[in-house]
Structure 1
Amino acid sequence: MSLEYITQILKPMLQGAQMTVLLFIIAIVVSIPLGFLLTLAVRSPIKPLSWLAQAYIYVMRGTPLLLQLLFICFGLPMLPVIGEYLVLDRFVAACLGFILNYAAYFAEIFRGGLLAIDKGQYEASQVLGLNKWQMTTRVILPQMFRIALPAVANESVTLVKDTALLYAVAVPELLHFAETAVNRDFTIVPFVVAGIIYLIMTLLLTLVFKWIERRFRFE
């Protein structure tokens, strides 16, 4: 296939990749803090709050992301009485679905990071006279994020690939334009080009997280 053809299909596919990147940025920026809040809720001494957070995490991790996206996009408007007020723009609905889903995964990652911290760290903080706020912000949280960072990086790479699910809710992203070109031109080249674009995005993201990991390691 000629270079001219690749150049021709690359422009709309890059436009679709912009939608992919936008969804990733919105989802990662919102779901990570929300996941941390869920972790705190799970560990809360207020039992109903803890049970509610655990139930939420169980449901979001136990059902497919695609099902959640379809429910938000097409199921919510069908609810009696309130359905007409829950009609969302497809991209907004997709962002909401990704945020709610990945927050549950990040919550479990952060919970694992907290559990991995040695109890001696808490005791040492008390010996040094640190109050609870100082112990949490200066000792516990930095160690938790350092421990959780590789898992967060891995989940973020998965998020990039999962953005292809936008296609299922009719949001024109990278895969949408690739399949359109395949059906129109009867060639697999657009799929190959889409795969290369995904690989480039995940490579850049991996390099960013490796840089962050090095910074944490030497702090």
Structure 2
Amino acid sequence: MTTRQAGLRERKKQATRKALREAALRLALERGPDNVRVDDIAEAAGVSPRTYNNYFSSREEAIVAAVTAEREFRVAAAVADRAGTRLADDVVGAVVEQYTDSGEPGRDALLLITTSPALRNVFLDAAAAIELPLTEAINGRLGETDPYAARVLAASVAAAVHVALDRWLQPAAASLAAGGFVVPAGSLPDLLRAALAPLAPAFDAAEERARHDEHR
């Protein structure tokens, strides 16, 4: 397969993934997530159910994918692009920027997630997807001098984001159970910064080791 063919194939796959996740969210907003079948999503996206299963393992995963929209890759790209400044600050800035973009998840999509326990759980679990792309970005920043540092730091970031999102959504679940309005608690940027703050010394230490190894 030529490079051009591989590029075309990858773009087609990305287009199919986008069509599926957008169809999933649209149908969920129209009908409610419990009234959407995988077959419905596949039909709306113009593919077979078998093709759907090559991209997503459940309807919840597809719906949440429309909300997160491969955000983990944008976080990693932002960290890689900001080389030259303090790594800890760049990671926090990238996470806060990508998780609090006013266009995502959007009021209706956020309401959908907070009112569905299944969607809420998948949304929280999606934070783990940050680990691998962020590992590569951190490795690039540190010069790959330590086989463990980047992976451990990226996994810690994923865990911190999960904690922040969980804290943000917990009051929403409680208010729903009480029959009240669904309103996430507090400022998400503040919660993300607070959850990531304990990781700063580890990032600083990893950068210092990388600088020391570079000048040896």
TM bracket, shorter-chain basis: 0.3 to 0.5
Alignment TM-score, normalising by the size of structure 1: 0.36
* Higher-RCO chain (CA-CA 8 Å, sequence separation at least 6): 1
Alignment TM-score, normalising by the size of structure 2: 0.36
